[in-house]
């Protein structure tokens, strides 16, 4: 009987895992596609509509932040819904909503309908909370010996999407562009990459319906907490053992988001890069992040503890973001970009590891859910604020981003105490009591 059970589990894992990885890959591609196309929206939609540069920057900031803001709201809700109604139903609904969001975004671009652009990004962001469901499916199907590997594959799928998304988005948005010796068709435009995302979404839905088994065998009827994201933030602020770490994580994501939101426009104005160049650059950044995961992090892990890496890494990241302001050539851009990508990769891994190690095994899911809410808030509100401060100068969000990361690094160095914070017993009591 045990042998048969193991065979069934292995079969479910083999059927479900590729679909989940494709779902994460699609989510990441959708995020990546938009990155090199934001300047096109500024110059082809917002400015021709009669908006000033200042108003257009504000609208662009809101459009960028809308996705993460809606994801902040939906991530814990979709996770709860999948616990109650099943993973397959919730994942299928979110995939349909993702495809719908990209279709509406493409239509909004083609018709230059600005309200429709915001509706489309809101729908895509709400659906983008399905990362919690994807992780739950992996947790359901993974054997003990494959769990770490399978969760690592989720990170790899997201990274691959972030490499291909900007590259494909940039190439498919420009007609008559040279693409490995071929010329893109005359009908290619800013909306074309999003129609590709719709097609990929439809394929994903079909695979889910045909291949994905229902993996949640223990459904519950617990009440859905619709304000879970807000309560997660409250817990992050009141948990004595976690608040320093999570405040540092918030400044890391927030500072990086300030920096990244208007980076494309900076590069266009300072280095005269075109859409294809932007796609290549952000694909390069994705590759650097992946290389850092494989080459730098294992070396640091053998020599230093997580909190030691975070202490130095936050200060180094702040310096790297400030150094971006001094970039005036493609060579300098590639060097500084690799430094920023490496710092990003190292901090992302070590901060999450530090959060996890600061809580006992009995509350890992709860604490990682709190961390996800902190990250989403750190990626949404700074993007919106960046639109307003960009009206002062296009480099201002970069300056603010470096300052925020520096403040977070100083905060961590001053207030983090590993002997006090990494206590499983106290973190359990505090998270439960908050």
Q: Say yes or no to pLDDT of 429 above 50.
A: no
Q: Say yes or no to pLDDT of 356 above 80.
A: no
Average pLDDT of span 114-130: 92
How far is it, in rounded angstroms, from Cα 76 to Cα 16? 22
Task: Please give the pLDDT value at position 391.
Answer: 95
Percentage of the chain lying above the pLDDT 90 cut: 43
Average pLDDT of span 119-133: 89
**pLDDT tens-digit series, residues 200-230:** 899 989 988 988 888 888 777 778 888 888 8
Among 99-103, 155-159, 168-172, 173-177, name the most confident range: 99-103
Task: Please give the pLDDT value at position 431.
Answer: 43
Average pLDDT of span 19-33: 84
Q: Say yes or no to pLDDT of 128 above 80.
A: yes
For the chain, domains (ranges, CATH) are: 11-215 (1.20.1250.20), 225-434 (1.20.1250.20)
Task: Please give the pLDDT value at position 75.
Answer: 85
Task: Please give the pLDDT value at position 14.
Answer: 76
Q: Is 234 exposed, middle or buried (0-12, 13-18, 19+ CB in 10 A)?
A: middle
Nearest alpha-carbon partner for 110 in 1, 198, 19, 235 = 198
- 18, two tokens: 């590729």
Give 409's pLDDT tier (boundaries 50, 70, 90): very high
Q: Are 375 and 249 in contact (CB under 8 A)?
A: yes
Pairing, β 182-183 against β 178-179: antiparallel
Average pLDDT of span 233-241: 81
């Amino acid at each position: 009987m045990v042998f048969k059970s193991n065979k069934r589990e292995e079969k479910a894992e083999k059927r479900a895992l590729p679909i989940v990885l494709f779902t994460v890959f699609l989510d990441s591609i959708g995020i990546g596609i938009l990155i090199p196309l934001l300047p096109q929206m500024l110059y082809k939609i917002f400015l021709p509509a009669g908006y000033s540069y200042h108003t257009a920057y504000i609208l662009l900031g809101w459009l960028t932040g809308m996705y993460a803001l809606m994801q902040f709201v939906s991530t814990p809700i979709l996770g709860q819904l999948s616990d109650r109604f099943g993973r397959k139903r919730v994942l299928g609904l979110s995939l349909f909503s993702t495809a719908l969001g990209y279709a509406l975004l493409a239509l909004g671009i083609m018709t230059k309908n600005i309200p429709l652009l915001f509706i489309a990004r809101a729908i895509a962001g709400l659906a983008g909370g399905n990362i919690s469901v994807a992780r739950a499916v992996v947790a359901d199907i993974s054997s003990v010996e494959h769990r770490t590997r399978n969760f690592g594959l989720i990170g790899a799928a997201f990274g691959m999407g972030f490499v291909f998304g900007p590259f494909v988005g940039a190439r498919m948005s420009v007609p008559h562009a040279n693409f490995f010796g071929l010329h893109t068709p005359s009908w290619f435009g800013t909306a074309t990459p999003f129609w590709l995302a719709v097609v990929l979404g439809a394929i994903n839905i079909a695979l889910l319906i045909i291949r994905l088994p229902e993996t949640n065998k223990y459904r519950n009827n617990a009440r859905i907490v619709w304000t879970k994201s807000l309560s997660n933030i409250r817990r992050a602020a009141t948990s004595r053992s976690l608040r320093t770490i999570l405040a540092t994580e918030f400044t890391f994501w927030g500072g990086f988001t300030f920096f990244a939101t208007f980076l494309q426009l900076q590069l266009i104005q300072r280095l005269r890069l075109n859409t294809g160049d932007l796609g290549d650059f952000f694909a390069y950044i994705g590759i650097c992040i992946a290389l850092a995961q494989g080459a730098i992090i294992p070396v640091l892990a053998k020599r230093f503890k997580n909190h030691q890496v975070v202490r130095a890494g936050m200060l180094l990241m702040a310096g790297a973001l400030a150094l971006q302001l001094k970039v005036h050539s493609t060579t300098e851009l590639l060097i500084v970009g690799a430094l920023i990508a490496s710092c990003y990769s190292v901090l992302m891994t070590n901060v999450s590891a530090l959060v996890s190690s600061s809580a006992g095994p009995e509350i890992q899911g709860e604490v990682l859910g709190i961390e996800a809410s902190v990250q989403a808030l750190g990626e949404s509100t700074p993007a919106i604020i960046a639109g307003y401060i960009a009206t002062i100068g296009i480099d201002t969000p970069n300056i603010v981003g470096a300052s925020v990361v520096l403040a977070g690094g100083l905060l961590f160095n001053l207030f983090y105490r590993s002997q006090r914070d990494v206590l499983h017993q106290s973190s359990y009591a505090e998270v439960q009591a908050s």
